[in-house]
Each structure stands twice: as C-alpha cells, then as structure tokens.
Structure 1
Amino acid sequence: MAKFETERLVLRPVSPADHDALRTLVFDPQVVAYLRYRLLKTEADFEQAFTDHFLADATTVFALETKADHQFVGFYEFHVTETTGILTYALLQSAWGHGYVAEAGRALMGYAFNTLGLTHLEAHYAHLNPNSGRVMAKMGMREAGELHTKTLDNGQVVHVMKYVLDKGDWNRAQSQSA
C-alpha cells in the first residue's frame, strides 16, 4: 500500500471515508465530462466502481487529500498495460486551479518508473479542455499529437490529445534538477 506526501498533498489509497466526496466528484458532469467515469449513471454503477475499482486497487489508484485540512480533493490513477501507465485524474471543482494535479503527478512519476517498473507514461485530454494539456506539460510530459477523435453521447466531437513521458527522459530531468 503506497502513500506519498508532497508540499501540500497526501496521496494515499482510497478509503471508505472517501465515499461521499468521491461520489460528488463522479456525479459532477463538469468534472467527468471527458472521463470514462461519465458513464457511471446510477448509484449502483458508482457503488460497484467504488468497491471494485477505487477501494480494490491500492497500488495504482490514489486519493488526493490536502495536508492542511485533510480534505479529499480528488483522485489520481494509473491504467497499466505491460510497461505503460496511462494517467487519469479528477478534482472536485473547488480544487481546480490550485496546481494539485501537477504536484501530485510529479510525485507519482517516480513511483511509476521506479516501483511499478513502467517505462512509459501517457496522459490524454479532450481538446476542449486545454488546461489539462498545460498541466501535463508542467509535469514534464511532451505533446504527442492527437490520439483519436470520438463522439460523445450528446453528439459533441472530441479530439483526444496525448502527452507522453519516457523513463529515460524523466531520469535525465531528475538528474538535471538535482
């Protein structure tokens, strides 16, 4: 069970105490507009995801909690396929614009490369949400173009953009900042 601390955050496994705050996050259409969690439509859907995913995976799913007041503000996760981790994150709207995603992401990169043994990280974002792309750049990732285009249930066409980071590039950046 991994736990990390940054200047302002504690990244820890999701706990049963996070249930209500995570439910609020997942059922906020602005927060999950471009995430797979937008497909959770019912309480039963959420309960299953909470139990089978958020609580069950303490090595690749992390709650983000503020150090100052110990409040749940979001989550970060890796979807792992062989040697690649695809990053997904979401924050309560009240936590937007505070730099939490980049702060947590930088902390989790070392864990991904050194502990999970990943050699490649990706993060995807909808072109309609360019702030996510800027966050990925702040984490040291580089733009890798369009991954694909998809049409949402509401008919909106979304260009899914990709950022990447390889372990070698991360190691070089770490040695330069030391």
Structure 2
Amino acid sequence: MTTLRALTPADASGIRRIYSGAAVTYLMRPEMTASEAEAYVARVIEWSRAAPVAQYVLGVDVAGDLVGVVKLGRRPAGHGRVSYVLREDVWGRGYATAAVERLAAYAFTAAALESLGAKHHPDNPASGRVLTKAGFTCLGADGGFVHYWLDRDGRRESSGQHREGPGVSPGRTRCPRGRSSR
C-alpha cells in the first residue's frame, strides 16, 4: 500500500537515492549529494513546522520503503501546485498515481485548497499519464512544459473554460496526443 508520511532525518539516504539516476533527468538539476540530501530533509522538517504551511513535502512510502516524494505548494487564491519524483526502480507500478491521488485529497480537505495545478516536461509522457489517472486535465503545452489542472469538486474543466493556472497563457498549444483526459 502506498502511504504519504512526514520525512525524518533518517530519510536522508533515501532522499539521495530518489534524487539520482534517471529520476533527475527532467528536474533540471544534478543528482543530490549526501550533504545536500541531509540539508534538504532538514529544510523540509523546518517547513512542516510553519504556520500556515506553505510547502508540504511528504515521503511516498511502500511497505516501509521510501520510494519517492510528493510536494504541494500553496499559491494565491486557494491554488496549489503538485509535483512528485520517484526512484527509477519503482516506476510503472502505480505508486506515483496513488501518491498524487492521496495528495490531492489532502489538498482539498486538510489544506482547504480550491484548485491544483501540475506540469511536466514534454519528453516525460509517463508523468502526464500519472496526472490524468489522478483526475487532472491537460490544459496544454506552454513555456516548455505541459500543464494540468484539477478543481476541488473534481471537475476536469471539460468545457475548455478554466481559470488560468500559473504558467498557462490563453495562447497555449494543445495537449500532446494521448495526454488529455477530455
């Protein structure tokens, strides 16, 4: 079973494993070093103590194994941004979809957000499939990324009329084939 949990200092080596190899290909960053992973976990723990929390970072745990992280950042007007990264050795098992579904449920209940956005690199179609399986609608490609949206009531914005999310302009291009849930 896939669960979301708070990170602890003991997770630093797991975080380093997550942010390595092919998992960092589309993150525009190099692999994490051991000291960077320790500092990252310390920052995440500090962020979790803020009131209100502006950036949630939770571990994706499968049977006691930290396989990834999901992030939820608060934005103005009740909007949130979702992101996630999983270890390469667990790709394709449904863990990312389950984690994003749980994070969205948390965002709309405990965090009281009204809408969520997410994006992925156009060369990473698996990430788009994760988002559509989790209920997001593809809005289109803009600014070098493919953007997605989900409202609190679960509407997938099938009318084509949506509140513009961060980074999505009215002149955006269509969703890449196979990535729209419309």
- Bucket of the pairwise TM-score, normalised by the shorter protein: 0.7 to 0.9
Q: How many residues align?
A: 149
- Closer/same/farther in 2, CA of residues 170 and 57 from structure 1, 3 Å limit: farther
Gaps of 5+ in 2: 157-182
Amino acid at match of 2:92: G
What residue in structure 1 maps to residue 58 of structure 2?
A: 62
Counterpart pick for 2:22 among 30, 43, 47: 30
Gaps of 5+ in 1: 1-7, 150-159, 172-178
1:47 alignment counterpart: 38
Over the residues paired in the alignment, what is the CA RMSD in angstroms? 2.0
Question: In the TM superposition, what is the alpha-carbon distance from 1:81 to its structure 2 partner?
Answer: 1.0
Corresponding residue SS for 1:79: strand
**Structure 1 or 2: more helix by fraction:** 1
CA distance in structure 2 between the partners assigned to 1:40 and 1:170 by the alignment: 37
Q: Per residue, is there more strand in 1 or in 2?
A: 1
Q: Distance in 2 between matches of 1:24 and 1:89?
A: 14
SS at match of 2:71: strand
Cα pair 1:40 1:46 within 8 Å, conserved: no
**TM-score using structure 2 length:** 0.74
| TM-score w.r.t. length of structure 1 | 0.75
CA distance in 1, matches of 2:32, 2:57: 21
Same amino acid, percent of matched pairs:
28
Code of the residue aligned with 1:33 in structure 2: it is T
Matches for 1:1-150 after TM superposition, within 5 Å: 8-26=1-19, 28-35=20-27, 38=29, 43-52=34-43, 54-58=44-48, 60-67=56-63, 70-82=64-76, 83-149=78-144
Q: Which stretch shows the higher mean deviation, 86-95 or 39-48? A: 39-48
Query: Per the alignment, do residues 126 and 55 of structure 1 end up closer, same or farther by CA in structure 2, a change over 3 Å counting?
Result: same
CA contact (8 A) 2:5 2:58 kept: yes
